[in-house]
Structure 1
């Protein structure tokens, strides 16, 4: 039986020093991190020169600045890692896949979170108390939507999951990338260990398995962005602890384990259960297709 393919394999002709300092999983993660920090600093400096990140800038301008300062350095760092270090085509972020895969991810994200809200409504936890057609949607779309979707998916799936999978296999890659994805949300307002664990399970595993099966970053980005946008701007629920300004003015009642509390619906057992069912379905597909990657020392 042939082994599932990984995106990068160390060249057989690579000298010993390059195998450890350039091509090893740890080295490539470190290289990406250094590039991200350097490009991020350059972007912030450039935005400051033009005065776009001034405190008196409008909310829309600040949102554009936040998107540019997060997404552009992350994309550039990833392109350098793949094209210069790994020397391969960026198939997981190919231009021809951005629109169709991104649109499919957006549709899936809107549907999935709508099902979460529908379940909360049926359980008597979610209540619409009004509407606000003038809600400020653009900053949310640019920051919690596109900014988070692009940057976090490249970091957690394109770099962390993909590279760890090459060395330790799919199982450890899923576990490590999911736990770090959840831990990153501990710095958010109203975050709790339970909220971070819930995000690790419901989103970290789901996005990791989705990337594993499709090898498409735009698909993961679209789902991530749409989930956040639907949660905050459409349904008026805090996004990972951040205040929401939604078209629907809502409130949630009941215990925090059901409603998600001040952190938002992502800390609800409803979101946890529904996303876990989706993850289980994706895992079954992966097992049946035989796509799960074994650790490097067990592969041929």
Structure 2
């Protein structure tokens, strides 16, 4: 039982939420600085890239999140008294097969999506592949993006989901609160500035997507693989001047961005299909109880 792993720790609730609260305080400050800055986010990113280069800029942006992952992990071990495996899964050990399978499946989703978009509207893209700039970017991306996504998963689907579910005894709160907070975390992203706050529906929906698979599967392994594939493969294949990852990817999207029903396609179609696939492969049972029930009734 993923949430019930906390029965073996004597840590109080405030110890579980201390790091998330500090992280969100930084996010609020970052958002305040962003909206009060005379320079918009896209321009600031462009200036930083001109000064440091796109790959170095990516390294600088990701480094705090990579360090954050290790801080969370060590904090969990020594302060929360949770061994590594118990921070990630309700199983006896981390199931790397689940991580690999979900990474593969979502990589295929990203590949097919990008390929389809390119075929349907090739004028929206330019091929910018340059081996001399791509290979250092590839190294930085592979080395750092999985830790960036793992930091977010360990915080939101790990510590927050476990602690909210355990102390409230309601799995619904363990699903809703981390999912909404995950979406709001992206409020200072350049995509939000470009497309408007409506795009937060996509981020919050993605939070629910990861949250459902975490609670139904009793661990964050599937979310780890899916999230890593989304950010890593997506960054390697395509970028744009107005995205969080403005990098020397294979393709560059030069179309005028807009937020419409096509942006909600993953929420309405792809996410449910992937959850259905996972449910069949891993034989999820008592899903209603796992998502909405009381932790007092956990007996799977």
Q: TM-score, normalised by structure 1?
A: 0.67
Equivalent residue, structure 1, for 2:203: 199
How many residue pairs match? The answer is: 258
From the superposition, tell whether residues 241 and 294 of structure 1 become closer, same or farther in structure 2 (CA, over 3 Å).
same
User: 1 CA distance for matches of 2:124 and 2:84?
Assistant: 50
Q: Which runs of 5+ in 2 are unaligned?
A: 25-50
The 8 Å contact of residues 116 and 274 in structure 1, kept in 2 or not, is answered as no
Q: CA deviation at 1:162?
A: 2.1
Aligned-partner SS, 1:274: helix
**Are residues 1:294 and 2:290 paired?**
no
Q: CA deviation at 1:72?
A: 1.4
Equivalent residue, structure 2, for 1:156: 156
From the superposition, tell whether residues 146 and 122 of structure 1 become closer, same or farther in structure 2 (CA, over 3 Å).
same
CA RMSD of aligned residues (A): 4.1
Equivalent residue, structure 2, for 1:186: 187
The 8 Å contact of residues 102 and 221 in structure 1, kept in 2 or not, is answered as yes
Report Cα offsets for 1:81-112 as digits up to 9, x if no partner.
Answer: 54x2x689627358953643332232122123
Q: CA deviation at 1:221?
A: 1.8
Q: CA deviation at 1:155?
A: 0.3
Equivalent residue, structure 2, for 1:269: 264
Aligned-partner SS, 1:249: strand
The 8 Å contact of residues 236 and 249 in structure 1, kept in 2 or not, is answered as yes
Q: CA deviation at 1:299?
A: 7.5
User: Whose helix fraction is larger, Structure 1's or Structure 2's?
Assistant: 2
Q: Which runs of 5+ in 1 are unaligned?
A: 38-54, 260-267
Equivalent residue, structure 2, for 1:105: 102
Q: TM-score, normalised by structure 2?
A: 0.67
**Are residues 1:114 and 2:111 paired?**
yes
Q: CA deviation at 1:286?
A: 5.5
Structure scoring higher RCO (CA < 8 A, sep ≥ 6) equals 2
User: 2 CA distance for matches of 1:64 and 1:189?
Assistant: 15
Q: CA deviation at 1:197?
A: 1.9
